[in-house]
Amino acid sequence: IKRVFSGIQPTGVPQLGNYLGSIKNWVDLQKDQSAGGDNPHELFYSVVDLHALTIPRDPKQLQKETFEMAAALIACGIDPNKSVLFRQSAVAAHSQLYWALGCITPVGWLNRMTQWKSKLQQQQQQQVESAESMVTESNFSRLNVHSNAAQGLLTGLFTYPVLMAADVLLYKATHVPVGEDQVQHLEFARDLVAHFNKQYKKKHFVLPTVMLTPSKRIMSLKDPLRKMSKSDPNEQARITLNDTDDQIARKIKKAPTDSISGITFDPGARPGVSNLLSIYAALRDTDPESAALAMQSLSNAQLKEAVAEAVISSLSPIREELRRLLGDQEHIERILGENEAKAQQVASANWKEIAKCIGISA
Ligand code: ATP
Ligand code: MG
């Protein structure tokens, strides 16, 4: 039996990398049916809105995007009868455990996190750029600039991995299906487990294991050396679950490749072509090497057509389902309400034990 936890931030519409690197794995875990038809695994999937607060957000927008992310996950195939699908902020114990863990986390461990280091760099860069273009920017960016300028770098962004460790440990998750960019954070969580157990002389927490898919790192369609992200300011860099067929085809057509003739899989020398092959392979249930071999004599343009076809045929049913679900908001609210009660039950039982361990009241 696996106890699974994973999360996704409500920072926009899920992009192809989220789907192939993470969500597809979540859905597949639902399929491991036992002979009796019951799912042998306990699956917890969360829209992690507390994590999304690390970047200043318009409150209405955050609430809307949190809701839409839940709908998107259902459209991707998350079945709320097989998985517990919930908003992170609905379960108070995430924040409570976050504090407890933060109090035993050495600052040096957080300083080493590569996501923190790159976000730091990015923010400093953005601050300069947006200060220059504030006049024409939207309310949201103005809020962003204002807040950064007034408060400097925010603590939440720095302690993000502590909250992520709390998410996973709160459910005593044995398996955590994420993309490659989250591997370091999971290692941090494992270190914290050992640290906590030593500190309190209790073997309370379970060591969580990372689950990766073969497409654990889908790259940007603008710069194949950077990962695809839903919050990338350039919309052309990603394919999202609500892109139209035309938009998908156009974005793939414009993706950078190279002038080497023939198709080969070589991420080091040919990052653009190799990224397209990885996408194709993940959607057609093959591996990138075999896909390259089968398409070796195609031109880059022909490869792109094949990739676009594969993406469109997988994503268009999801897009239609998402549109349908968004038309029935009450249905989604009801599902979330029911699932949040289940998550709360598991989390608060565990939090009670942890609080006792530490010597505080639960
Ligand atoms: P943001 O830019 O707001 O951080 P994101 O696209 O990185 O958005 P997250 O919500 O941070 O998405 O991550 C959700 C899940 O998707 C995580 O498991 C993460 O590892 C995975 N993931 C994100 N980007 C990719 C990618 N390019 N390839 C594979 N997996 C990815
Ligand atoms: Mg991310």
How do residues 167-180 score in pLDDT, each as one tens digit?
Answer: 999 999 999 999 99
Give the mean pLDDT of the chain. 93
The pLDDT-based confidence of 152 (bands split at 50, 70, 90) is confident
pLDDT in tens, 75-115: 999 999 999 999 999 999 999 999 999 999 999 999 999 99
> Of the residues 4, 15, 16, 18, which should be mutated to test ligand 1's pocket, given the most ligand atoms within 8 Å of the CB?
18
pLDDT in tens, 288-340: 999 999 999 999 999 999 999 999 999 999 999 999 999 999 999 999 999 99
Pocket lining: 96 vs ligand 1, CB cutoff 6 Å: no
Tell me: do 182 and 69 sit in the same domain.
yes
Pocket lining: 339 vs ligand 1, CB cutoff 6 Å: no
Tell me: do 169 and 291 sit in the same domain.
no
pLDDT in tens, 200-241: 988 889 899 999 999 999 999 999 999 999 999 999 999 999
Tell me: do 210 and 94 sit in the same domain.
yes
- List 2, 119, 172, 342, catalytic entry: 119
3-state SS class at 68: helix
> Of the residues 22, 113, 119, which should be mutated to test ligand 1's pocket, given the most ligand atoms within 8 Å of the CB?
22
pLDDT at 57 over 80: yes
d(CA 49, CA 46): 9
| 235 within some domain | no
| 226 within some domain | no
Among all bound ligands, the one having the nearest atom to the CA of 230 is 1
Domain that holds residue 275: 242-323
| 199 within some domain | yes
| 232 within some domain | no
Pocket lining: 15 vs ligand 1, CB cutoff 6 Å: yes
| 127 within some domain | yes
| 252 within some domain | yes
Pocket lining: 271 vs ligand 1, CB cutoff 6 Å: no
Pocket lining: 283 vs ligand 1, CB cutoff 6 Å: no
Burial class (CB in 10 A: 0-12, 13-18, 19+), 108: exposed
Tell me: do 127 and 102 sit in the same domain.
yes
Tell me: do 199 and 248 sit in the same domain.
no
Tell me: do 256 and 112 sit in the same domain.
no
Q: Angle of helix 93-102 relative to helix 329-358, nearest 10 degrees?
A: 40
pLDDT at 63 over 90: yes
Q: Which residue type is seen at 314?
A: S
pLDDT at 134 over 80: no
What residues are paired with 240 via a beta bridge?
15
Active site residue 222: no
Tell me: do 24 and 61 sit in the same domain.
yes
- Whether residue 221 contacts residue 255, with contact meaning beta carbons closer than 8 Å, is answered with yes
Active site residue 227: yes
Number of domains in the chain: 2
Tell me: do 105 and 254 sit in the same domain.
no
% of the chain exceeding 90 in pLDDT: 85
d(CA 201, CA 221): 49
pLDDT at 131 over 90: no
d(CA 18, CA 240): 9
Tell me: do 122 and 268 sit in the same domain.
no
d(CA 100, CA 92): 13
- Whether residue 87 contacts residue 340, with contact meaning beta carbons closer than 8 Å, is answered with yes
Pocket lining: 7 vs ligand 1, CB cutoff 6 Å: no
The CA 216 to ligand 1 mean position distance, Å, reads 10
Which position has the token pair 């809105």? 49
Tell me: do 140 and 25 sit in the same domain.
yes
- List 216, 227, 251, 304, catalytic entry: 227
Tell me: do 309 and 342 sit in the same domain.
no
- CATH number of residue 285's parent domain: 1.10.240.10
Query: Per this entry, what is the length of the chain?
Result: 362
Which residue minimizes the CA distance to atom 23 of ligand 1? Answer: 18
Q: Angle of helix 300-326 relative to helix 271-283, nearest 10 degrees?
A: 50
Pocket lining: 88 vs ligand 1, CB cutoff 6 Å: no
Active site residue 119: yes
Among all bound ligands, the one having the nearest atom to the CA of 226 is 1
- CATH number of residue 123's parent domain: 3.40.50.620
Pocket lining: 208 vs ligand 1, CB cutoff 6 Å: no
The CA 288 to ligand 1 mean position distance, Å, reads 21
Tell me: do 294 and 350 sit in the same domain.
no
| 108 within some domain | yes
| 227 within some domain | no
Dihedral sign computed on CA atoms, order 144, 159, 84, 32: positive
The CA 54 to ligand 2 mean position distance, Å, reads 11
